[in-house]
């Protein structure tokens, strides 16, 4: 009986150590996945990056309206490059017409300061119903 209790205690202690180290590894891996990701200052619409860092710019959008956010001066911008985007919806599954969040990701590639000019429009930029300028500085 004593051997079973000692064996059980040993296994519990061993499992605690395994769980503890697993949690540390997961925490470290999660921090590494977000390393270098910078968000826009929502009050100033400015971002300061180091070369190689990434940032995400968040937009609220509603695809059912036919409007979408467009970067209209992409050909003029050379200090960052677009490296992807993702959409996140908080609406219940199957709900049509709800807004969603678009996160547009950029990576800093050259030093300098430039402004990204975004418009919320259908096909023609001159019919934009909203605009947003984001100034990026790469050091």
Instruction: List pLDDT tens digits, range 67-122.
Output: 999 999 999 999 999 999 999 988 888 888 889 999 999 999 999 999 999 999 98
Residue-level pLDDT at 95? 85
CB 71 within 8 A of CB 98: no
- The partner residues of 135 in beta bridges, in order of sequence, read 46, 115
Q: Is the pLDDT of residue 134 over 70?
A: yes
Quote the pTM value.
0.70
Report the half-sphere exposure of 6 (CA within 13 A, side-chain side): 3
Q: Is the pLDDT of residue 54 over 60?
A: yes
Burial 90-126 (b: 16+ CB within 10 A, else e): eeeeeeeeeeeebebbbbbeeeeebebbbbbbeeeee
């Amino acid at each position: 009986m004593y051997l079973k209790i000692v064996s059980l205690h040993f296994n519990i202690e061993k499992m605690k150590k395994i769980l503890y180290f697993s949690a540390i590894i997961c925490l470290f891996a999660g921090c590494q996945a977000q390393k270098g990701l910078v968000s826009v200052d929502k009050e100033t619409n400015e971002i300061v990056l180091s070369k190689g860092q990434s940032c995400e710019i968040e937009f609220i959008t509603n695809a059912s309206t036919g409007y979408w956010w467009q970067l209209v001066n992409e050909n003029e911008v050379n200090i960052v490059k677009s490296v992807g985007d993702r959409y996140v919806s908080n609406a219940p599954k199957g709900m049509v017409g709800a807004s969603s969040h678009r996160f547009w990701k950029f990576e800093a590639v050259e030093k300098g300061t430039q402004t990204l000019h975004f418009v919320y429009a259908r096909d023609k930029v001159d019919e934009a119903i909203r605009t947003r300028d984001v100034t990026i500085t790469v050091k």
